[in-house]
Amino acid sequence: MKLLEKFTLGKQDLKNRMVMAPMTRCRATINGVVTDITVEYYSQRISAGLIITEATNISEQAIGSAYTPGIYTDEQILGWTKVVKAVHARGGKIFLQLWHTGRVGHSSVRNGNLPVAPSAIKIEGQQHFTPTGMNDYEVPVALKTSEVKQVINDYCTAAENAMAAGFDGVELHAGFGYLPNQFLVDGSNQRTDEFGGSIANRCRFVLDIMQGLVDICGLNKVGIKLSPSIPFNGMIDSDPTATYSYLISNLNKLNLAYLHLMQPMFPLDAFPHWPKDVLKTFRPLFNGDIIVNGGYNRGKAEEAIQNEEAQLVAFGSLFLANPDLPHRFELDASLNIPDQATFYAGGEKGYTDYPVLN
């Protein structure tokens, strides 16, 4: 299988073209520190050509959910250093995904502080999971221009911390409705300063962050994840093709490691003008390597690689439940079924206890 062939991504020599997708698992301490169980979890999955960690908070302000990890305190950095050392010791490669949830959070997990966002517009029609159950989203506090620039600095500091922990690179989570995504789409960004209004202004936040990350981490060591056709968390844009075409064209200037594209994961009947195949729409605009994600199985992934539609394919729940996924694909063996009840439950069950083939 071409999917199982070695590949050089940026400056990383990968053992195959299979990527472990970032997946929130809620196993960190209340202070955002990953522990020995997380070391074991990632060490078990070094068969992936590249591991991208779960989304990791860049600051205290970035937190949206309890028991999610951070990369802004010494204790958090030390925890991740142990993960990286264990992965590297077994021949793996690992990027840290940088996360700011923006309005996708709740004051009950933020010491009573309201979430922040580009504009004071709350998410409608959804609720947020908190330790006290499901709660309606709150109206976020709109960031001042000076505060937006401070968040950009926070991303840069987080990248410095990631490099100090030994990561091979970083990925900006700019999809699925989190803060960078909130700046991109006109449904959540109604600012009138340099970070709002025109497509160029709405893309400025992401592009400024990406330039900062490249300056810190170096060329071909930074990736970005985008979800142009996913309306979840209120990500409604009047013209996503125009918005993301401008963004991707400008990302070409930065010598990135990769562009990570999420295919649609929700019905788009209400958005007939949105791209139905994100890969075919945006792949021609990017000069570098593409990771594609979203509903890929063994056959579909191999087809995408064989047709040169993407260079790598990311798998989420399949890697969650099958630490030896590449070996199973090689043998066309049966797969463990992911236990959704334990995705965010905490503890070893559904985390480090999935069996591997003999």
> Is 114 exposed, middle or buried, given 0-12, 13-18 or 19+ CB atoms closer than 10 A?
middle
Return d(Cα 350, Cα 98) in angstroms, integer.
Answer: 24
Q: Which of 72, 178, 296, 351 is catalytic?
A: 178
Q: From 208, 197, 294, 304, select the one nearest 243 (Cα to Cα).
A: 197
Return d(Cα 261, Cα 7) in angstroms, integer.
Answer: 18
In degrees, to the nearest 5, what angle opens at C-alpha 320 toward C-alphas 322 and 179? 155
Single-letter code of the amino acid located at 272? P
Q: From 133, 157, 145, 15, select the one nearest 72 (Cα to Cα).
A: 157
351 counts as catalytic:
no
CB hemisphere CA count around 103 (13 angstroms): 28
114 within 8 A of 186, measured Cβ to Cβ:
no
Active-site residue list? 178
